[in-house]
Structure 1
Amino acid sequence: MERRTGKSSGVGKLVALAALLGLSGGVVVPTTRGDVSGLEFPTSSIWGAVFDRIHTFKGIPYAAPPVGNLRWRPPQDPAGWTGVRDATEYGNRCPQIVDAKAPLGSPLYEILTYRSNSSSEDCLFLNVYTPNVSSSADLPVMLWIHGAAMVIGSADTYPAEVPTSLHNVVMVTINYRLGNLGFLPTLDAETDGNVGLLDMVKALQWVQDNIRNFGGDPDRVTIFGQSGGAWAVSLLVMSPETRGLYRRAISQSGVAGLTTTRRGDITRTETLAARVNCTTASFDRMMSCLRSKPAQDLLFLEIIPIVGGRFLPDDLWDLMYKKRVNEVDYLLGTTDDEYGMLLSVIPGFGEDGLNRTVFEAILPAQLQFDADQFPKGNVSAIVQPVIDQYMDPDNDDPIYTRDQFIQLMTDCRYTALTVFMAQAVAAHNTRVYQYEFQRRTSVFSERPSYTKAAHGDDLFYTFGIPLMRDVTGASWKYSFTQEERDLSLDMMAYWVNFATNGDPNDFTEAARMRNLATWPRYMTSSKSYLKLDVTSSADVKIRESNMKFWNEEVPRLMGKEITTGGGEKSTWSILLVTFSAVLHLLQ
């Protein structure tokens, strides 16, 4: 049973102002750059909405267009405007190598279809969704960083209207520079080259300066994202430059164990310049030439953050291992089958399984990504240990081989890194909650029988897509089961509770009450987590042997020194070294 506690919000003087200005349907909200007018969104198409309407504000510029000489520069303040800016349409999406598409009538349409009208480098816009524009509402704020590997995607593809209609929360979605336009190494003193991440920081600064006027509490900001957006969240948590801009973080299916470039290494930039016929003889001339090229000529499917500078001061593995992360509350997790669909493109991989010989032949290429995370990484050093960890030498069954390969890839690319980050953040005694999403969603009946909860499936539940009604409001838009609709309500409640109070179980200030399974806090000792499904339950030490293998044995094989306590030698080790040194001096 549920108990609703939300109140239909009033907008006071701003409603009167909107009426005086003759603006249809929207209220006017002031920002530091000028006033904006949005739209009222009626919530009749969303089952269980606690508000009869919410307010949406789209296409608000949070930074100046990063064009011309501002390409690959840190984001600058946007120009101000006089009068009231129309905030009823999405701003341009950022340039990207492909446009996402999904068939109308599929739930995929809701998270893959662009609603912006065009693509342009003038793309640093954000959108705000709120049930209450009173400056005294002090609602928690959740800022969404979209996924798709930080090379494609847009803020406008996610229906943030749904969770906002169901909860006392302000949602913000943002665009940021993608691919080479967002992550190109330069020698410029004012940037490490991570300008896509600096865009996110700029958006968070905009939130600090403006969100109270949209009903939000700037002291309760949660950054959250999925896949590439989850990578971005983890990078922000690793950066000392982001402290104080948010209080909590959520990473869904991704923590940034990524190939990186050291600050000052412009090899990738020179390679790009050569591709587009720019000189590499002079850095300044090279950058001037690159800034003159059309954006579409510069886009390639790669995202490699730059480390060793102010924003990311060390290699990503070292930042996590040494616990050099921001002290924030963190909710993070994965699906139980991240790679079930991602591996389906491999020839010979499918319903009939995977031949053991093929598996061993393709494994080194799959592990190269993991080896590249380490400066001294050599993929040949881990191939056989990985086989020994996951494969029974006496079992050549193709079904077994396929399923173990899926588990292997899920663990190494997603689950182990998530556990690694959970350990790093929990060491600061902040509140950490881990999950594994385990629901095989019924509406994707065309999927292979061997897939479980695939990469991205949790998005449908996080954004309440099972609760959408058709245009009449009389029928369901998509044929999710009632259990799945309840799971969506559960997940949104957990997420918003965490954003509100730092505890997914705490319904203080909630717009509705639900009977939820208790989600235990992740501790460095207990390693508790929640199995998210239509019937959720708690467990501990997810695939512990595999986690230790990826987080301890593999780094050791890649040249990292693993010491007790993660980054600090144990007291006993220090005493032993000191004692040995004293003996040496006495000889």
Structure 2
Amino acid sequence: IYTFKGIPYAAPPVGDLRWRPPQDPAGWTGVRDAAQFGARCPQIVDAKAPPDSPLYEVLTYRSNSSSEDCLFLNVYTPNVASTADLPVMVWIHGAAMVIGAADTYPAEIPTSLHNVVMVTINYRLGNLGFLPTRGAETDSNVGLIDMVKALQWVQGNIRNFGGDPDRVTIFGQSGGAWAVSLLVMSPMATGLFHRAISQSGVAGLTTTRRGDVTRTENLAARVNCTTNSYDDMMSCLRSKPAQDLLFLEIIPIVGGRFLPDDLWDLMYKKQVNKVDYLLGTNNDDYGMLLSVIPHFSEDGLNRTILETILPAPLQFDADQFPVTIDQYLDPNMDDPIYTRDRFIQMMTDCRYAALTVLMAKAVAAYDTRVYQYEFQHRTSLFSMRPSYTKAAHGDELFYMFGIPLLRDDTGASWKYSFTQEERDLSLDMMAYWVNFATNGDSTGAVRIRDLVTWPRYTSSQSYLKLDVTSSADVRLRESNMKFWNEEVPR
């Protein structure tokens, strides 16, 4: 395959361009060196591989530095002929919009196995990408507008890399999946993509109104930029080092160009981009996150502790939590193992699955092609994890990027000791994703192996259980989904 790294899609957002929409990059003459990744965007920590498994070394940074001059993308293609017209998949990385980089994800494997062009992008993170501002020259969602700028670059240039600008799929996981769902809702992204994939994340209901700069004023107070003048405050903030400005809870700002109205008002008014959508979750998206909370253990979770200590840190309303307990816990069951496992299911449903089902229903009402999945496989290599965890948040990434198929340096042996069933699952998952990007049909024509038919999400609410033995089912945990989406105020 051909790889082109570190291509600038926007001007460096530095100095006076900090917190402003991305501008066109400077051009160049001659041949540009595209052998090295561009710098990653400034972030609260420069993540390294977790110590629990050498497998995570695959999903770590490959660029050598971080800088505010970070608006780069990378292109992976099997064919550079301008007439190739291959489907294009644009990857938006996750990690809560506060860490991460485009270079973390090895797009070479799916590109080499399938006729598809893959693009991975950087975008501004944390306060540098999502600080609430006001004024005609700014839009507070500049990290999201970076993505729009990257998609505009794809429309204008991808044919030179063998891609078809009329078959562009955006896809992402966690924070990247959240961003994908917002791009589906944004009028700024209209016509820039044709299909979307959200893996374990869609936008919720929490937003900030444009013009509310309370969080910005709080940041200014932390870095000695407090002043009665908004313009002076912003000038002071623009003078501060990037690393002093990064901490922020990422909440989309509505009322600007990117999101002119509240998220679900846009959805229910059908003022969104009508595109095919593939979306889903993992059956234990919250398990690994909860495993680090005190009182969680292999021995279970004490019900009294669950009811008295955990609601506050998990941000449950005091009146809402007892009703939720009644939905998930049998009052006659006082087994700590049962309590722990049901609580994990409750949090996975609340934070991930219910919103995904809500989005699937809303998009399916537009008569576009929608596919839902639940990834259910516990990876054999993760024996170091607590035994009660299943398919944790992000586990599907290894399969989607073909990591089980990596060979060692000699090419004679597998690099990691996945089972053959897991290698087959990786082949299946890549085929489903590329088929969807190719023509909107996940089962499609790309078949290195026979694929289980993946039915469309319609009124029957069909979904695919993605596992080493996949199968179709309907109405994912219907009672729980109805509870979160119809009975509990959000």
TM-score range, shorter chain: over 0.9
d(CA) in 1 for partners of 2:246, 2:277: 33
- The normalised TM-score by structure 2 is 0.98
Partner of 1:444: 382
Partner of 2:468: 534
2:55 counterpart SS class? coil
1:400 counterpart SS class? helix
2:3 counterpart SS class? strand
- Contact 1:230–1:251 (Cα < 8 Å) also in 2: yes
Q: Structure 2 regions of 5+ residues with no counterpart?
A: none
Q: How far 1:322 sits from its partner (Å)? A: 4.6
- Contact 2:255–2:261 (Cα < 8 Å) also in 1: yes
Partner of 1:143: 90
1:59 counterpart SS class? strand
d(CA) in 1 for partners of 2:227, 2:272: 36
C-alpha change, 1:411 and 1:119, in structure 2 (3 Å) is same
C-alpha offsets along residues 170-215 of structure 1, whole Å, 9 cap, x if unaligned?
A: 0000000001000011112143300000000000000000000000
The alignment status of 1:340 with 2:287, answered yes or no, reads: yes
- Contact 1:72–1:182 (Cα < 8 Å) also in 2: yes
Partner of 1:7: none
The alignment status of 1:394 with 2:329, answered yes or no, reads: no
- Contact 1:145–1:173 (Cα < 8 Å) also in 2: yes
1:380 counterpart SS class? coil
Give 1:350-429 correspondences, 5 Å limit: 350-368=297-315, 379-429=317-367
d(CA) in 1 for partners of 2:50, 2:350: 32
- Which amino acid letter does the alignment assign opposite residue 441 of structure 2? D
2:411 counterpart SS class? coil
1:401 counterpart SS class? helix
d(CA) in 2 for partners of 1:100, 1:334: 24
The alignment status of 1:550 with 2:484, answered yes or no, reads: yes
Partner of 1:293: 240
Partner of 2:58: 110
The alignment status of 1:95 with 2:30, answered yes or no, reads: no
Choose the corresponding residue for 1:461, options 382, 399, 424: 399
Give 1:27-106 correspondences, 5 Å limit: 54-102=1-49, 106=54
1:489 counterpart SS class? helix
- Contact 2:21–2:139 (Cα < 8 Å) also in 1: no
The alignment status of 1:519 with 2:454, answered yes or no, reads: yes
Partner of 1:255: 202
Give 1:192-341 correspondences, 5 Å limit: 192-257=139-204, 259-341=206-288
Q: Structure 1 regions of 5+ residues with no counterpart?
A: 1-53, 372-378, 559-587
- Contact 2:277–2:371 (Cα < 8 Å) also in 1: yes
d(CA) in 2 for partners of 1:392, 1:301: 38
d(CA) in 2 for partners of 1:59, 1:171: 14
Partner of 1:505: 443
Q: How far 1:382 sits from its partner (Å)? A: 1.4
- Contact 1:123–1:175 (Cα < 8 Å) also in 2: yes
C-alpha change, 1:147 and 1:106, in structure 2 (3 Å) is same
C-alpha change, 1:323 and 1:401, in structure 2 (3 Å) is farther
- Which amino acid letter does the alignment assign opposite residue 435 of structure 2? N
- Contact 1:320–1:420 (Cα < 8 Å) also in 2: no
- Contact 2:169–2:195 (Cα < 8 Å) also in 1: yes
C-alpha change, 1:68 and 1:222, in structure 2 (3 Å) is same
- Contact 1:323–1:427 (Cα < 8 Å) also in 2: no
Q: How far 1:381 sits from its partner (Å)? A: 3.3
d(CA) in 1 for partners of 2:168, 2:67: 28
- Which amino acid letter does the alignment assign opposite residue 441 of structure 1? T
Percent identity of paired positions between Structure 1 and Structure 2: 83
- Contact 1:270–1:280 (Cα < 8 Å) also in 2: no
- Which amino acid letter does the alignment assign opposite residue 477 of structure 2? R
- Contact 1:363–1:383 (Cα < 8 Å) also in 2: no
- Contact 1:72–1:195 (Cα < 8 Å) also in 2: yes
- Which amino acid letter does the alignment assign opposite residue 106 of structure 2? P
- Contact 1:185–1:306 (Cα < 8 Å) also in 2: yes
d(CA) in 1 for partners of 2:176, 2:294: 29
Runs of 4+ in 1 over 6 A off after TM superposition: none
Partner of 1:181: 128
Partner of 2:414: 476
1:107 counterpart SS class? helix
- Contact 1:130–1:164 (Cα < 8 Å) also in 2: yes
d(CA) in 1 for partners of 2:152, 2:4: 18
Q: How far 1:323 sits from its partner (Å)? A: 4.5
d(CA) in 2 for partners of 1:278, 1:533: 52
Partner of 1:485: 423
d(CA) in 2 for partners of 1:194, 1:218: 25
2:32 counterpart SS class? strand
Determine which structure has more spread, i.e. the larger CA radius of gyration: 1
- Contact 1:90–1:127 (Cα < 8 Å) also in 2: yes
- Contact 1:95–1:296 (Cα < 8 Å) also in 2: yes
- Which amino acid letter does the alignment assign opposite residue 538 of structure 1? A
C-alpha change, 1:220 and 1:297, in structure 2 (3 Å) is same
2:115 counterpart SS class? coil
1:250 counterpart SS class? strand
- The normalised TM-score by structure 1 is 0.82
- Contact 2:279–2:356 (Cα < 8 Å) also in 1: yes
- Which amino acid letter does the alignment assign opposite residue 335 of structure 1? N
- Which amino acid letter does the alignment assign opposite residue 519 of structure 1? W
d(CA) in 2 for partners of 1:547, 1:280: 47
Report how many aligned residue pairs link the two structures.
Answer: 489
